[in-house]
Structure 1
Amino acid sequence: MSPTKAVIVPGNGAGNVEQCNWYGWANKQLNKTPDMTCLLKNMPDPVTARESIWLPFMEKELQCDEDTVIIGHSSGAAAAMRYAETHKVFAIVLVGAYTSDLGDENERESGYFNRPWQWEKIKGNCRHIVQFGSTDDPFLPWGEQQAVADGLGSQLHKYTDRGHFQNTHFPELIRVIHKIKETD
């Protein structure tokens, strides 16, 4: 069985997600994939990205389920990980993932970082876990990204020159989704 849906969960502060970073481009590419639909919607509470608002939205509005690949960028990666602690999903693809509030008040208010990560539950609820990270990310120390990889045993794609993955195209992401789709 292969996934039938991909959902892109953006980072906080993304504004109109269709026009931000690689989100709109990736959405178009994935919607060209046979037997797959991709969803990309502006999130409620887009600045603070509160877990208490985003996770119910992912469940009820985006309908993330066992046939879904959740692609989470930055705070969207934190949301994908927390969602996978309590929901079965086909896969999570984490872009710029991290484990703490980084000493930032807005991140603290989001609610994702107020308790330990349940790595084993996440692994048990996902058939595939892929992670993209870059050592030159201006927002996320490499140690944070490596801690996610260590906790999840993710298939890690490590770069030295991609920053916070705010480019307009992301072909490696599309290749990974296609590979996930083909291998199951």
Structure 2
Amino acid sequence: MNHVVIIPGNGAGDVMAANWYGWAKRKIETIENCKCDLRNMPDPIVARESIWIPFMRNDMECGENTIIIGHSSGAEAAMRFAEQYQVKGIILVSACVTDLGDDNERASGYYSRPWLWEKIKENTEWRVQFGSTDDPFIPWSEQKQVANGLQSELHQFDDKGHFMSTSFPKLIQVVKEKLQ
């Protein structure tokens, strides 16, 4: 059974009704031999690494056969997870490398040390990234740093903003391709 986990960005509210998350979960679960986990995360506002990584490991059971889809803060969680543990692959949406001067982001802990690009690459079979040059929160230069560091398969857009739409067909296409 293929295991796909969606790690949302930080924020409050039901993740099933936020952005494309619930839509993607339903679409992924129609793929043969595939289950998808999407949950309201503990500590949803600050999204502390010290809380999210153990939750991903212990509660969501992310492991070597898991595809982690991470959006925004969830992308940073996916990368930090893959620094420590083997996973099948990671799909990063609106990823960045610094706290961008934001106190809440700084408090998450993801940006307190250098990114271990080589370790992430060793612990993943593949890495895909979605980024948009018109993202109002994440500068394109930060997204490019992630792509360069991870040698990710980068899907660049100029009209998707922070990927906060209610559907994301290209994501489902990529998941299907990676499960082939």
Alignment TM-score, normalising by the size of structure 2 = 0.99
- Could you say what the CA RMSD is over the residues aligned between the two structures, in angstroms? 0.7
Cα drift, residue 78 of structure 1: 0.2
1:72 aligns with 2:65: no
Aligned counterpart in structure 1 of residue 147 of structure 2, from 146, 149, 153? 149
Asked whether 1:140 is paired with 2:135, we answer no
Instruction: Work out the percentage of aligned pairs sharing the same amino acid.
Output: 57
Preserved CA contact (<8 Å) 1:84 1:122: yes
For residues 75-125 of structure 1, the C-alpha deviation after alignment (integer angstroms, 9 at most, x for no partner) is: 000000000001000000000000000000000000000000000000000
Give the C-alpha shift of residue 14 in structure 1. 4.6
Superposition pairs of residues 1-184 of structure 1, within 5 angstroms: 4-182=2-180
Q: Which amino acid aligns with 2:79?
A: M
Tell me the CA shift for residue 128 of structure 1. Answer: 1.1
1: distance between equivalents of 2:105 and 2:117? 20
Runs of 4+ in structure 1 off by over 4 angstroms are: none
The 3-state SS of whatever aligns with 1:102 is coil
Measure the CA separation in 2 of the matches of 1:95 and 1:127.
18
Question: TM-score when scaled to structure 1?
Answer: 0.97
| The 10-residue stretch of structure 1 (7-16 or 86-95) with the greater mean CA deviation from structure 2 | 7-16
Q: Which runs of 5+ in 1 are unaligned?
A: none
